[in-house]
Structure 1
Amino acid sequence: MMNTDDVVIHVKEMLERASRPITEECCIYRVPLLIRQLNQEAYTPKIVSIGPYHHNSLHLQNMERHKVMYLKSFLERTNTSMESWIHYIASKEPLIRHCYSDALQFTPNKLVEIISVDSGFILELFWTSNYGTDDMYLSLPWFATTIFCDLLLLENQLPFFVLHDLFCLSVANFGNNDIPPFILLTFGYFQSLNESICLLIQCHHDLRSLTNFYLCGENKTTHGEEPMATNSSVNKWSEAGIKFAITKAMNTGKDVDILVRDGIMENLLGDSDAAAERTKRLCRNIVLSDFQF
């Protein structure tokens, strides 16, 4: 006969450990499976893992030693002790854990280690990208570009407040008022995204939130006018005299050619039809809320 007392005890223990899966601190999410299945590679870092989600990916392990060297370089540059970093991150470990939507399987000590190394890598990377670097390996154009793209991925993030606080903790040793705030170093690194866009700053979220942007068209409709359908093609808009567009309207290679011609995008693939198809795949299942021209 079933012993219900044991079941009651077990369920009570489960209830005592229960906590909300998503908290108000959460700001770093997994890509929904439905979207990831459309193009797995589009949401997976190619060279460097940042944060816990992709830390154990085998194809990213080669960068771990480079990240450690960057951490060492930044600590030496700022004359900062590793102990001060560990103590700070350890004090914020529960909050950092809550910043991620998925339950993290790492122990507190391991998570602190991951955050320490990855934070050091990013801080040194941003510093050297603004002031120059002697690292011939990470300075290779194709390598630097791939790292840049990896840092924009939704799942490849650290909480911004951690980076900000560690930077302030470190540069305080300089006693030099000429050192720019960390947010300016961030803007400097992502300078290519800051041209001709409206940047939305949400400092309490992750790095990627600093690069969220919207195209700013010169001519928008008034609230009483009917907005143009977003499934129209760029080619049709161009024929109507409209010189700006969004990627959801990129249906053909000719659309890509128009966007390249007008300086809205740069086609690094070379093949216009391939660029249109790649963009359409990335934009599937994306919903634009409150969109208007």
Structure 2
Amino acid sequence: MDSSREPNVDPSSWILPIQVSLGTVRHGQVEACSISKVPDKLRKPNKDAYVPQVVSIGPYHRGSQNDLLLMMEQPKWNYMRSLIRRSVYQAQQEGRIEDGPGMVKVCGETILEIEYVVRASYVGNALSEPHELAKLMLLDGFFLLEFIHRLYEYKEALKAEDNGDYDDDPVFESHEKVLSVLSDLLLLENQVPFIVLKKLYRKLFPIPVPIQQDNRVATLAIGAVGYPSVVPTSGAAHLLHLVHLSIVNQEDRKNLGKRLKS
């Protein structure tokens, strides 16, 4: 018996990093290591600036003992249920038969199919157990999609000078709270791969269009956060990257306009 061998170690575990890396090769919808930790050198002056204060998204701050982050876990489940209701209602309007539990099962299986792609998006070992990773992507992905919907509706209501009724929604209880949540969702360490959002949305609200041409989530998101709608809506690795692309695109358009006038 080889006593030098580590106990309880899966002999095939060494292959996982290779499988993860292969998950993004020629994928076109994912960037490897696009969601990383902020380097300590940048974090030192103000470490809280890079840490979510209200809502945690993704694996990096999962399990935090921050009371505010823990308080947002139940609203996430409420948002998940609300998004499923949107999906079931649309299915009924289109004459399709869908049910909530079945939809969750389909979405969960979809996330498991892209497990290696999801892992490759993160730097380091982001949750070793596939089903735990899928559960996290489901909950946070559904929350993000429903938040984007509600943020868009909230902005439209403000334009119409309609304060609305948000008494049962702790995220939209005040304008300051909305801004705090949005600020957290634009932190580098607080992201989920955009491919997760696209895959989930296509299962919840199916359309007969190839995924490469389905830019509904990006269009809705960029409109909800208040950036120009004429932006690249494909190729974003995550929500923060989408906003970055919008800003860069806006500056490029301004510079092009200046050059054309000169």
Same fold (TM over 0.5): yes
Aligned to 2:94: none
Matching of residue 85 in structure 1 with residue 107 in structure 2: yes
Runs of 5+ unmatched residues, structure 1: 174-178, 221-293
Aligned to 1:98: 120
Superposition CA RMSD, Å: 3.3
Specify whether residues 37 and 159 from structure 1 end up closer, same or farther in structure 2 by C-alpha distance, changes over 3 A only.
same
Q: Which has the larger radius of gyration?
A: 1
Partners of 2:221 and 2:175 lie apart in 1 by 19
Aligned to 2:145: 123
1:69 aligned to which of 69, 73, 78: 78
Is the CA contact (8 Å cut-off) linking 1:21 and 1:102 kept in structure 2? Answer: no
Q: What letter matches 1:170 in structure 2?
A: L
Aligned to 2:29: none
Is the CA contact (8 Å cut-off) linking 1:30 and 1:102 kept in structure 2? Answer: no
Aligned to 2:59: 52
Partner-residue secondary structure (3-state), 2:52? coil
Percent identity of equivalent pairs? 26
Aligned to 1:30: 37
Matching of residue 135 in structure 1 with residue 166 in structure 2: yes
Partner-residue secondary structure (3-state), 1:37? helix
Aligned to 1:184: 219
Runs of 5+ unmatched residues, structure 2: 25-31, 89-99, 155-163, 208-213, 257-262
Specify whether residues 17 and 201 from structure 1 end up closer, same or farther in structure 2 by C-alpha distance, changes over 3 A only.
same
Give per-residue Cα distances to partners, 1:74-104, cap 9 Å, x unaligned: 0111115211111111222222112101212
Q: How many residues align?
A: 208
1:208 aligned to which of 240, 251, 259: 240
Specify whether residues 170 and 34 from structure 1 end up closer, same or farther in structure 2 by C-alpha distance, changes over 3 A only.
same
Q: What letter matches 1:66 in structure 2?
A: P
Partners of 2:122 and 2:72 lie apart in 1 by 23
Larger helix proportion of the pair: 2
Calculate the TM-score normalised by the size of structure 1.
0.62
Is the CA contact (8 Å cut-off) linking 2:58 and 2:137 kept in structure 1? Answer: yes
Partners of 1:199 and 1:40 lie apart in 2 by 32
Quote the offset at 1:32 in angstroms: 0.6
